[in-house]
Amino acid sequence: MTAKTATCTVKRVPPDFPLYKGVSFTADRIEAVRKTLPQPGGYKWLDEYIESLDPVKDWEQVIRTEFNYTFNEFGGSIPHTTAFINVIQNPVGGRTLAGTGKVFGHFHGHGRLMDANGFLFSWMLEGLTTPNGKAEVERLNRLHMRLAKRFPGNFADKDDFIIAIVNLALFPARLREVFGLPPLPENRRIARLHWSRALWANIITELGPARMEDFPNTWEEMVEWERQFNARPHEPIDEGHRAAEALIDHFCWQWFPKPLRFIGREFILMILPDSSIRKHRLGERKPWLDSCIYYGFRLMLLLQSLAPDPRIGLIDRIMVEEQKKAGVLQPRKQRLSMPTLLAFLLLTGFAHFLYQNVR
């Protein structure tokens, strides 16, 4: 079955689908996270607080605070899409992901995103040095070993695990690079490096526990490791192409009305490295549309920068999700305001593009 066929035969996800699954954040777990979070200060307080932390000793607090107060569903779905597409440049990954069938069709594609959120929320908010955070890595290891029984040998290559972790760590820097923003601050780079190494330290492959000497030691080494991985002559395969297209299709379906899904596709292509686009045969980027998205996205970030820093965060949303599960709150339908905003920003960017090139 092709990705297109699978998409047509699966029902659309209901508008009250959960933010995550696979993990239950009890009241005690939520309260434990709350106790570690800072008390929001004035109009612009977040950067000042994070800059006050030592990223070597307090790396977990840097990660926790930034993730809690900056996470949004749209932003979270971008690295989920791009990281998986990058990982499956290796044909083994493409065959495995296609073989599970979890990315084909909007329902299964969204289930895969909810699974990923369940792991990530614990790793980021509770922390990889805590019992709960470590337990979630162990849950991922068990999942991989179950899949290894279906796909023997497909979870043996350590590099497939390393590239996934490295992609997640480098994503904010990649986004800044694509949209011409200042580099990721050093304290964030240091914290994300420590977070990545802590995650790798708990990973188990088919060949056994991870070895720390296999993982990059510095931020610069992570950047170089990713560059060398992308430069490998991976064989393009049909399964990788179909899985990559399905991941992009799900992202576009989730966030853009049908007439504007070409914008979502181009947005993902802008962030992907050339190697992923080439190996998965995703087609050429459109320079004119890239320019529109570039200016539109920068305008959106400018508007966000003028707003006050958030005073509530992801942990508050998680509490609401758990109350929904318990029947305390009725599910609230998802409001798709983001596509409307992006469409407006795209038109603004297009007008700027015309002004710069026609005058």
Helix axes 287-306, 261-271, angle to 10 degrees: 90
Residue reference for tokens 């179950």? 146
pLDDT confidence of residue 326: 81
Q: Look up residue 99 and give its two tokens.
A: 């073989």
pLDDT class of 18 with cuts at 50, 70, 90: confident
Average pLDDT (29-54) is: 97
Q: Running DSSP on this structure, what letter comes out for residue 217?
A: S
Categorize the per-residue pLDDT at 343 as very low, low, confident or very high, splitting at 50, 70 and 90: low
Q: How many CB atoms lie within 10 A of CB 52?
A: 10
DSSP state letters, 70-104: H--HHHHHHHHHHHHHHHTTSHHHHHHHHHH-TTS
Q: Report whether 282 contacts 244 (CB < 8 A).
A: yes
CB 345, CB 263: distance < 8 Å? no
Rounded Cα–Cα distance for residues 21 and 6 (Å):
23
Residues whose CB falls within 8 Å of the CB of residue 190, separated by 6 or more in sequence, listed in order: 55, 56, 59, 219
For the chain, give the mean pLDDT. Answer: 89
pLDDT at 325: 85
Ordered alpha helix ranges (H), the chain: 3-9, 27-36, 46-51, 59-70, 73-87, 91-100, 106-121, 131-150, 158-178, 186-201, 219-230, 238-255, 261-271, 274-279, 287-306, 314-325, 337-358
Closest CA to 269 of 280, 259, 260, 258: 280
User: Is residue 175 very low, low, confident or very high in pLDDT (cuts 50, 70, 90)?
Assistant: very high
pLDDT of residue 329: 57
Residue 255's domain comprises 3-358
Nearest in space to 317 (alpha carbons), one of 303, 292, 334, 300:
334
Report the domain count for the chain.
1
C-alpha closest to that of 171 among 314, 247, 37, 71: 71
Give the pLDDT confidence of 285-338 residue by residue, as tens digits: 999 999 999 999 999 888 888 999 999 999 999 999 999 888 765 555 444 445
Residue with tokens 């493409």: 94
pLDDT at 356: 61
pLDDT for 214-239, tens place per residue?
A: 999 999 999 999 999 999 999 999 99
63-88 CB burial, b ≥16 within 10 A, e <16: bbbbbbbbbeeeebbbbbbbbbbbbb
Give the mean pLDDT of 262-277.
97
The DSSP code for 124 is I
66 residue type, one letter = E
- What pLDDT does 348 receive? 58
| 90 Cβ contact partners less than 8 Å away, ≥ 6 residues apart | 157, 159, 160, 163, 232, 234
- Per-residue pLDDT, averaged over 244-263, amounts to 93
pTM above 0.85, yes or no: yes
163-192 mean pLDDT: 98
Q: What digits encode the pLDDT tens for the residues 90-108?
A: 999 999 999 998 888 766 6
What's the whole-number mean pLDDT along residues 140-155? 97
Nearest to 60, CA basis, from 197, 215, 175: 197
Report whether pLDDT(341) > 70. Answer: no
pLDDT value at residue 336:
44
Return the percentage of the chain with pLDDT > 90, whole number.
Answer: 77
- Contact call for residues 55 and 191 (beta carbons, < 8 A): yes
- Burial, 213: exposed, middle or buried (Cβ in 10 Å; 0-12, 13-18, 19+)? exposed
Q: What is the mean pLDDT of residues 24-30?
A: 96
